[in-house]
């Protein structure tokens, strides 16, 4: 696919990977549709895109509203007279011990991270098939291939997105519509700082969002379905698959040790006088 001249809809485009990707696409000559819920942040990214891609547009939407997100897909298709690429990038974290996770929290994470990307794909797919060309890029996570302590809801949503993407790619084999799955590792985005989440056990290092953005654009032309960004995350996933019991035992031990350390360091903890 020639990025120059392509029309690309990117969700979660107000910050992080989505913002970096939108600007990078615009700089390479694509017309970009930006979708996110924070209008001021989205406007700033759009202004940067329009420096090199004046036809780029934005839509303010909360992607927890599935029907509203589908309406945006319809509007963007009409505005650009078609879409060449849909990038399902938007996601929210939920770091919460499963023993205190609420049904409402689970539902919200599943809507944003899985149901909305799936519904957007279903909405655009008939139109891409009619033109016999198109690309759907689903941005999952290392948490979609390995379980992470205190992230049951997030991992469930990202595992679902991986399975959906694999099956969709098989169903669409032989058509002009392709599917690509992106597996980012630890990326320096706001997902680590979102309120109402337990602290992450992971302390770094972090890759910049531009690493993933460049990798997504490379995936446009690649024959490979799955792309680990950075690539060393693939080794972790392969180890987990080879010896799941060792992985689970080790990850649980690390989580328990981190929890003890946090308790001891807090006011009233065992290390306080």
Q: Are 181 and 193 spatial neighbours (Cβ–Cβ below 8 Å)? A: no
- pLDDT at res. 28: 97
Active-site annotation holder among 154, 202, 228, 247: 154
Catalytic annotation present for 247: no
* Assigned superfamily of 7-234: NAD(P)-binding Rossmann-like Domain (3.40.50.720)
Q: What is the pLDDT, as a whole number, of residue 260?
A: 78
pLDDT at 273 > cutoff 50: no
In this prediction, residue 271 has a pLDDT band, given cuts at 50, 70 and 90, of very low
CA 18 and chain centroid, separation: 8
Extract the tokens encoding 38: 């924070």
Is-contact 180 225, C-beta < 8 A?
yes
Among 124-138, 140-154, 155-169, 240-254, the minimum mean pLDDT is found in: 240-254
Q: What is the pLDDT of residues 37-73, one digit of tens each?
A: 999 999 999 999 999 999 999 999 999 999 999 999 9
100 preceded by a cis bond (ω within 30 of 0)? no
Residue 82 confidence (pLDDT): 98
d(CA 270, CA 273): 8
Give me the pLDDT at residue 191, please.
84
Is the pTM here over 0.75, yes or no? yes
**Residue 270 in tokens:** 């065992």
Residues 22/13, Cβ–Cβ less than 8 Å: yes
CA pair distance 12, 190, nearest whole angstrom: 11
Residue 173 has pLDDT above 90, yes or no: yes
Q: Taking a C-beta distance cutoff of 8 angstroms, is the pair 241, 234 a contact?
A: no
Q: Backbone phi, then psi, for 145, in 5-degree steps?
A: -120, -25
pLDDT in tens, 148-166: 999 999 999 999 999 999 9
pLDDT (tens digit, 9 = 90+) per residue, 12-45? 999 999 999 999 999 999 999 999 999 999 999 9
């Amino acid at each position: 696919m020639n990025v120059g001249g392509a029309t690309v809809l990117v969700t979660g485009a107000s910050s992080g990977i989505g913002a970096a990707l939108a600007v990078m696409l615009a700089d390479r000559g694509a017309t970009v549709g930006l979708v996110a819920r924070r209008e001021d942040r989205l406007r700033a990214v759009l202004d940067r895109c329009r420096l090199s891609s004046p036809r780029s547009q934005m839509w303010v939407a909360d992607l927890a509203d599935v029907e509203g997100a589908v309406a945006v897909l319809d509007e963007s298709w009409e505005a650009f007279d078609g879409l060449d690429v849909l990038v399902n990038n938007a996601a929210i974290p939920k770091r919460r011990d499963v023993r205190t996770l609420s049904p409402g929290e689970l539902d919200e994470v599943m809507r944003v991270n899985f149901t909305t990307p799936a519904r957007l794909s279903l909405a655009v797919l008939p139109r891409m098939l009619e033109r016999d060309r198109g690309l759907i890029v689903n941005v999952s996570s290392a948490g979609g291939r390995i379980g992470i302590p205190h992230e049951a809801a997030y991992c469930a949503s990202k595992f679902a997105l991986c399975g959906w993407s694999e099956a969709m790619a098989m169903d669409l084999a032989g058509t002009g519509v392709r599917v690509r799955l992106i597996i980012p590792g630890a990326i320096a985005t706001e997902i680590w700082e979102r309120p109402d989440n337990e602290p992450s056990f992971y302390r770094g290092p972090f890759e910049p969002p531009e690493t993933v953005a460049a990798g997504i654009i490379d995936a446009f032309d690649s024959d490979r379905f799955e792309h680990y960004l950075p690539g060393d995350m693939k080794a972790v996933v392969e180890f987990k698959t080879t010896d799941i019991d060792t992985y689970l035992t080790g990850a649980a031990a690390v989580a328990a040790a981190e929890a003890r350390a946090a308790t001891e360091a807090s006011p009233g903890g065992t290390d306080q006088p």
